[in-house]
Structure 1
C-alpha cells in the first residue's frame, strides 16, 4: 500500500512539472497571438492604381480678372460688379496610377512614418457664365453692364507629403495620415465686360452717351498648387517584406479654382 501511494505521488509530481513546461499553460501561446510578429520598421517603396472623383468650384474663378478690368469704372465701385455670381461647380471621375516611398519607425505595436505619395491622373473641369443688369446711375443716365467669365482646370499630377501613424496587429497595419497636398494643373481663365451709358435727361442738347468694354485672360499652365491631405488605409504583410495596401485619400487644393480630390487605391509595396 505504501509503495502504491509513493508511486502515485511521484507520477503526480512529474505530471505537474510537465504541465508547467507546456507553453500553452504558461500563457506564451496566447501572448504570441496578441503581440505583433512582423517588423514594420525600415524603408519601403511601392506602386498603386487609383480611382477617384474631383469637385472643382469655379464660383470665384473670374472675380480678380473682372476687378482688374473694371478697376476705374464707376459702376464697379458703386455696385461691386466683379462679385456677381456667374460660375458654378463641376464634378468628374477618373483613374490614375503612381507610387509611394517612405520610412517607418516602430515602437512595440506603434508605427510612425513619413511618406511621399504621387499619382498621375487626369481630372478636367470647365465652367462659364454671364450676367447683365441695368441701373438708374449716374444721374440722368440708364447704365447697362454685362459681364461674362469662363474657366477650365486640368489636374494631371498630384500627391502628398504625409506623416503616418499606425498600430501593428500581427501582419496588419491600419493607419491614418495627414500632410501637405501638392499638384500640377493647367488653369485657363477669361473675363469680359461691356458697359453702356444711355442719357435719359432733359438737357438740350442732350448729354452724350458712353460705352466701353474689355477682356482679360490668364493662362497658368503647369501651375503648382498646394493644399492639405488626409486619409486612412491598411497595409497587409504577405511575405518577407512584400505587402498589400488599400487606402482612401482626401486632397484639398486652394487656388483660383478650389478643388477637392477623393481617391481610393490599391497598391503593392516592399519593405526593406
Structure 2
C-alpha cells in the first residue's frame, strides 16, 4: 500500500516534466546580415562650397568668390567584401549633377567694384568619384569611412554691364582632386540598404592659359565642397 503512495506522485511529477519538455522550443540562432555583394543605388543631397577665381599675371589682385551651393542627385554602385572579424572593405563609384551654383562681385585688391554691374557666376555642372571604403558591420548597421579620386566640371564666367553694354565670357573646365568622408548604412531588408553620408571634396586648382582671342588673362580657379547626402541601394 505504501508503495502505491510513492509510485503515484513519482508518475505525476514525471508527467509534468514530460509536458514541460514538450513545451520547450529549440530556436535556431538568427544569422547576422552579410554585407558582401554588388549594389546599385540612387542618391540626393545638398552641397555648399568655396570657389575662387584670380588673375595671377597682375600685381593687383583681381578676384571673384563664387561659393556655389545647391541641391543635386545622382547614382552610385559598388561592391563589398565582409570578413569574419566583421570588417567590410569595398569599392564604389558615383556620378551626380544638379543646381550647385553661386555668384560673386568682382574684387580689385579685395574691394568689390561695380556692385550689381560687374560680376561673375559659376556652376558645378556634374561631378563624380571613385572611392575605397572601410567599415565595421554591426549586424544590419554599417558605419564606414571612404576616400578616393574626385572629378567635376565647373562652368564659370564674368560679366560687365557697367557701360550700358554687355561684355562677358564663360568657360567650362574639368577639375580633378580628392574626396573623403563617412557615413552610416542600414539594411532594411536582405536587399534594400539606406545610407546617410557626409563628404568633403577638393576639386583642385586649374590654371587656365591666356586666351588671346578673348583677351583673357591667365586665371586660377579652385573649388572645394562639403555635402550631405541620402541614398537608397539594392544589393544583389
Matched, 1:85 2:54: no
**Aligned counterpart, 2:50:** 55
- Give, in angstroms, the shift of residue 122 of structure 1: 2.6
Q: 1:165 aligns with which of 125, 134, 137?
A: 134
Q: 2:199 aligns with which of 242, 246, 249?
A: 249
Going from structure 1 to structure 2, the CA distance change for 1:54 and 1:117 (only over 3 Å counts) comes to same
| Cα distance in structure 2, aligned partners of 1:62 and 1:150 | 15
Write the deviation string for residues 119-143 of structure 1: whole angstroms up to 9, x where unpaired.
1023233342235xxxxxxxxxxxx
Q: 2:225 aligns with which of 234, 248, 261?
A: 261
Q: 1:121 aligns with which of 80, 98, 105?
A: 98
8 Å Cα contact 2:55-2:61 kept in structure 1:
no
SS in structure 1 of the partner of residue 63 of structure 2:
coil
**Aligned counterpart, 2:115:** none
| Cα distance in structure 1, aligned partners of 2:55 and 2:122 | 13
| Cα distance in structure 2, aligned partners of 1:247 and 1:89 | 27
- Give, in angstroms, the shift of residue 57 of structure 1: 2.6
Q: 2:38 aligns with which of 35, 43, 46?
A: 43
Going from structure 1 to structure 2, the CA distance change for 1:258 and 1:127 (only over 3 Å counts) comes to farther
| Cα distance in structure 2, aligned partners of 1:186 and 1:90 | 11
8 Å Cα contact 2:42-2:76 kept in structure 1:
yes
8 Å Cα contact 1:62-1:151 kept in structure 2:
no
- Give, in angstroms, the shift of residue 48 of structure 1: 0.9
1:63-142 correspondence to structure 2 within 5 Å: 63=56, 65-66=57-58, 81=59, 84-87=60-63, 89-108=65-84, 109-125=86-102, 126-130=104-108
8 Å Cα contact 2:70-2:101 kept in structure 1:
no
- Give, in angstroms, the shift of residue 40 of structure 1: 1.2
- Give, in angstroms, the shift of residue 183 of structure 1: 0.5
Write the deviation string for residues 19-41 of structure 1: whole angstroms up to 9, x where unpaired.
xx9868xxx86xx5xx73x1211
| Cα distance in structure 1, aligned partners of 2:152 and 2:203 | 8
More helix by share: 1
| Residue segments in structure 1 that go unaligned for 5+ positions in a row | 67-80, 132-148, 191-216
**Aligned counterpart, 1:156:** 125
| Cα distance in structure 2, aligned partners of 1:244 and 1:130 | 47
Q: 1:178 aligns with which of 138, 147, 152?
A: 147
8 Å Cα contact 2:101-2:122 kept in structure 1:
yes
| Cα distance in structure 1, aligned partners of 2:81 and 2:156 | 39
| Cα distance in structure 1, aligned partners of 2:222 and 2:96 | 19
SS in structure 2 of the partner of residue 169 of structure 1:
coil
Paired positions, count: 197
Write the deviation string for residues 86-142 of structure 1: whole angstroms up to 9, x where unpaired.
4253434211110101111111321111000111023233342235xxxxxxxxxxx
